[in-house]
Structure 1
Amino acid sequence: MATRPQVLFVRNPDGGGHLAAALKDAGLDVVTAESARSAATTLEARTPQCVVSQYAVPPESGTETDGGATVREAVTSIDPDLPFILVSDIEHYDDAREQFDEDIFGYVPLREDTDTVKLLLRQIQSAISQLPARRRAAMQAQINEVIRQVNGTLVRARDREEIEQSVVDVLTQSHRYRWACLASVDTQAGTAAPRTGGRGGADEGWRDRDRERALTIAHQQPLVEAKEEGETVVSRLTTERTLPGEDAGTVTQMESVFAVPLDYEGSHYGVLAVYSNRASAFQTDERRALREAARNVALAIHAAEARVELRERTRALKRQHDRLEEFARVISHELRHPLQVAMGRLEIVEDVANGEDLLFDQIDTIERNHTQMEQLIDDLVALARENARQHESEPTSLPVTARRAAGMVDGPGPTLRIDTEAFVDADPERLRHLFEVVFEFAVDRAGDTATLGVERLDSDAGFAVVSTDDALPDADPEELFQMHPEPSDARRISMRIIMNIIESHDWSFDVESRGEETRFVFTNVEFI
């Protein structure tokens, strides 16, 4: 047998009984109240599908006659989606319409004929038929608002702790959910412990007791399952509550929990649990919205952790930079100073040698070694500072940078031929240093008459520095210094500088020999 639709009829104690009786005769389950206060009490205990109220009913004690407005306020505060129909006599009809405007479902003018009952029945039937759609729309609006607020907190939160606390606070403070927490889960032990709990819920006592007991075993299991399965879990739970004071005793409360793992790109950030005491909680659309919110929370936590890691790496790089700068300073000062003293003393010895050839030969050997030591110090300082530099790429002209580098080579410098006007994405200072080291290496081998070219490769994949005076045999670029007639620590350091610059740009490097040419080839270069 189908359940009859239930209607709450709020009537004037001095009239309206005939309308209630007519509604009952039409097959409706009619519950009556005679004031705004009694209507509110009835709504707390029952779940009617429609409320009908006369305009002239007492709001509280019966001393006023426009209590219909108060009834409407009571209905809205308890169940804002419940359709409300106002019945008003002709005397107050215009006032009622003006006061309520579009805030209610329908108006019915009270007349002394059967048309009033017929019109009221049509309004009630229409209201009841539309109630499921109204509730779905209201539910979706509430969910959308909660998700909007969650996403807003994700934008404003500064770190992971603030993200977690603000999200569970938004969920707890909403009208849809009783409490929310973010828990750490141990699947082996089968336990879940709240890491962050919502603050400011509608039922503070329930929330505080739940926090004190952490989570009961019944509450933990859905969270453990959510992490184990990597999927959302919805469970119906039974909670026993101890009531204090005059209502002392133990009551059993049914509630639902929605548990979703916070996972992003292989990283796990706990399980979000949302609690509700609504029988219809966590239907399909609501689960979908909460899953999407959880994904956004996991993404925000992932980004916050990445920012922390980036800050830590930046600080570590700063410390490394400072150490390398200090190393360069120590090399420059502590080694160069005694070398300069030794070279000064050597000049004095030359002045008093009086042309003794053997002594001059020894002095010449010492002087050459001093020069090599000075070059080694310069290169060590250059290497330390190169390692300390931060890479800053920008569109950089190959010909301009090559000419600057050629002008810094000791001696007359090489003859330079440039066959490209290309721009590359590179760090300008590092590219200049790269050209300088390669030019110096070629000049060391071929002498000041070396002819060098800079050209773009036919494949558009890179560029090459070409030396046309002294070809090298093919070899591993890392062993290039070994091919020099006089391999030295300084040349090893120069090659390390080249490789550092290449690695910082993610380029590739090779050395090719074509007839009398040696080609230093750089590929994987991005042209602008």
Structure 2
Amino acid sequence: MDVLCVDGDPDSLARTVASVRRELPDAMPRSARTAEAALDLLATDSIDCVVSTLELPDGSGTDLLESVRSSHGPLPFVLAPRAGAGSESLAAAAVEAGVSAYVPSGSEDGDESRYVRIPACVRDAVEGRVDSTASEHARQLEALHEASVGLIAATSHERVAEVAVAAASDIHGLEASTVYLYDADANVIEPIASTPAALNLSGGPPTYRPGESIVWRVFERGEPEAVEDVPSDPDAYNPNTPIRSQLTLPLDEYGVLVSGSHDPGTFDERDVTLGRILAGNVVAALEQVDRARTLEERNERLDEFVRVVSHDLRNPLAVATGRLELTRAELADAGIESEHLSSVEYALDRIEALIDDLLRLAREDDPDVDLEPIRLSALVDHCRGAVDTENAILRTATDRTFRGDRGRVRQCFENLVRNSVEHGSTSSQPQAGDSVEHGSTSSRPQTDDSVEHGGDAVTISVGVLADGTGIYLEDDGPGIAPENREKVFDPGHSTRRDGTGFGLRIVERIVESHGWEIGVTEGEAGGARFEITGVEFVADDAVE
């Protein structure tokens, strides 16, 4: 603890220094005989407390107190008049001026009590400042936390700026704060939100252009600045401003946050640090608003796409299909057969399938899922009814209950089952020269079930992974070559002439919407095996 003792009387000064050294072993007394010398030491050295007499060669102790308060804020200051110099009115004036402690002077004959009380007042003043500082730091952190909550909830740049200026004023204990945002079209930084005190300044917050202010300098450099004396700064926009000190915080490419004080040298390193944190949170909130706005615009475009696909395309498609049937009937009545009509019908059917898959794919962009218990065996039963499984045997290897969005999960497994049926049965295998994703025709052993289904049935099994982390669906078809397993989820990827290439892409989207993951590997019988991990299982009695 560095204690500066100020007294124009050499004997009194020596006794004050001795009492501080004796009673405060952890103190390092410093001395000055004039107010000017004291202020010089304060400007260059770290002082924890000032002890001054009332009468000084170049002024008074109260004058020194006022100078200390204007330049060093709440630095502990003990006023200790020499014997016979104090009075009740002087004590009241000192307290009003912000003195930390007042030591009554002793009698004319002696003031030993004064030298005894000075060290105690120094200790109390310094400890009180420590407690006050800790309390202030806690308040600042609480204000920063509350600001973070408010910034997260903001849905516009304007609201982010309003929360930011209120937080800046609260954190720094000041009233004048403004957020300026950059207008790229006009190449200016303009105020978007200000506290009432900032608005009441002469002319209100101005709009800044390149190179004409401290604000623009900070925006350009991207580093915060605490200016101790604004009027003397070469980039001061208005040298006559009542703002003496200013903390300017860059908000990346968005703009700056400014807090001002009528007193010089208000902002210290802690203020800059807290300001950096607040500015970082403000930038994050502004980015969040931009992301939300981009997503909203994207959803609007998606809604327009769905409208066009579901209505504007289906209507002419229905007309074309109707005209095809009329043409076929007319040609039949005339005894004419045309192979072109089958090609037209195939093309129209393919367009219809593409529309269905595109709409399903678009709907899977919705991030909200409605979770409910789903029994695996019931899901498989649903797939038997929803998918043409005439050439397939669908089995449940193990039965468990998990949580998922029922509609989406059903769509997911319908597509997986349909994929196995279309690629797995021998009747669907290509002729020589055709390219199929699952590889060459397999030589699966015939089972009683496959004979019952005509000898070319694919067996599809659905169950729980051995480690209990998810669900698998596998078939005993020809399988998927390792180098092609990542491609099967690509949009538009298909190895069938009549495939849309969106079935497994929809599966992947549904899996991702649940926060799950899906991978492809080889099944026990050499066929394709899809594994979905990250699934949450629940007790079987959770299903009604």
Q: Where on the TM-score scale, by shorter chain, does this alignment land: which range?
A: 0.5 to 0.7
1:520 to 528, 531, 536: 528
Query: Which amino acid in the other structure matches residue 454 of structure 1?
Result: S
Aligned to 1:24: none
Distance 1:216 1:202, change over 3 A: same
Post-superposition Cα deviations, 1:476-508, rounded to whole Å, max 9, x if no partner, equal 365899997xx43xx321x32222322553555
Structure showing greater radius of gyration is 1
Following the alignment from structure 2 to structure 1, what is the Cα–Cα distance between the partners of residues 318 and 127?
86
Q: Give the residue type in structure 2 aligned to 1:421.
A: D
d(CA) in 2 for partners of 1:377 and 1:260? Answer: 57
Is residue 307 from structure 1 mapped to residue 289 from structure 2 by the alignment?
yes
- Residue aligned with 2:274, SS: helix
Corresponding letter in the other structure for 2:274: E
Instruction: Classify 1:466/1:132 alpha carbon distance in 2 versus 1 (closer, same or farther; 3 Å).
Output: closer
Q: Which residue of 2 aligns with 1:320?
A: 302
Structure 2 match to 1:405: 383
Q: Structure 1 residues 306 and 4 mapped into 2: Cα distance closer, same or farther (>3 Å)? A: same
Please tell me whether residue 30 in structure 1 is matched to residue 54 in structure 2.
Answer: yes
Alignment check: 8 A CA contact 1:258 1:274 kept? yes
Does the alignment pair 1:476 with 2:468? no
What secondary structure sits across from 2:395 in the alignment?
strand
Single out whichever of 39-48 and 117-126 deviates more from structure 2.
39-48
Distance in 2 (CA, whole Å) between partners of 1:2 and 1:215 is: 50
Q: Residue type matched to 1:404 in 2?
A: H
Aligned to 2:158: 161
Query: Which residue matches 2:355?
Result: 381
Task: Determine helix, strand or coil for the equivalent of 1:521.
Answer: strand
Contact 1:184 1:193 in 2 (8 A): yes
Q: In 2 relative to 1, CA 443–131 (structure 1 residues): closer, same or farther, beyond 3 Å?
A: closer
8 Å CA contact 2:223, 2:249 repeated in 1: yes
2:511 pairs with 1:505: yes
- 1:52-451 mapped onto 2 (5 Å cutoff): 78-79=97-98, 82-83=100-101, 122-123=116-117, 126-139=120-133, 141-142=135-136, 144-145=138-139, 148-149=142-143, 151-156=145-150, 158=154, 159-168=156-165, 171=168, 180-182=177-179, 195=191, 199-201=195-197, 207-208=201-202, 211=205, 220=214, 224=217, 228=221, 233-237=225-229, 239=231, 255-262=244-251, 269-276=254-261, 281-283=266-268, 287-340=269-322, 342-343=324-325, 346=328, 362=337, 372-373=346-347, 375-389=349-363, 390-393=366-369, 394=371, 396-410=374-388, 412=390, 414-422=392-400, 427-444=405-422, 445-446=425-426, 449=454, 450-451=457-458
1:527 is paired with a residue whose SS is coil
Residues 123 and 322 of structure 1, relative CA distance in 2, 3 Å threshold: same
Aligned in 2, Cα 1:71/1:151: closer, same or farther, shift over 3 Å? farther
Change beyond 3 A, Cα 1:234–1:402: same
Q: What secondary structure, in the 3-state scheme, does the structure 2 residue paired with 1:334 have?
A: helix
Distance 1:155 1:274 in 2: 21
Contact kept? 1:193, 1:215, Cα under 8 Å: yes
Distance 1:197 1:527, change over 3 A: closer
Residues 496 and 424 (structure 1), Cα distance of their counterparts in 2 relative to 1, 3 Å cut: farther
Structure with greater contact order relative to length (CA < 8 Å, sep ≥ 6): 2
2-side partners of 1:368 and 1:331: how far apart?
Answer: 21
Q: 1:114 deviation in Å?
A: 8.5
User: In percent, how many aligned pairs have the same letter?
Assistant: 13
State the Cα distance separating 1:386 from its structure 2 match.
0.9
- Work out whether 1:492 is the aligned partner of 2:510: no
Distance 1:181 1:279 in 2: 19
Distance 1:152 1:405 in 2: 51
Task: Please state how far the C-alpha of 1:166 moved relative to its aligned partner.
Answer: 4.8
Question: Unaligned 5+ residue runs, structure 1?
Answer: 7-26, 33-38, 53-57, 59-66, 88-107, 242-249
Using the alignment, how far apart are the partners of 1:331 and 1:405 within structure 2? 29
SS of structure 2 residue aligned to 1:208? coil
Letter in 2 for 1:453: I
Q: Deviations over 1:20-65 (max 9, x none)?
A: xxxxxxx973369xxxxxx99998689773389xxxxx9xxxxxxx
Q: How many residue pairs end up in the alignment? A: 424
Q: CA deviation at 1:341?
A: 5.3
Alpha-carbon distance in 1 for matches of 2:142, 2:190: 24
State the one-letter code of the partner of 1:29: T
The structure that is strand-richer by fraction is 1
The TM-score with structure 2 as length reference comes to: 0.58
Alpha-carbon separation, structure 1, partners of 2:66 and 2:330: 109
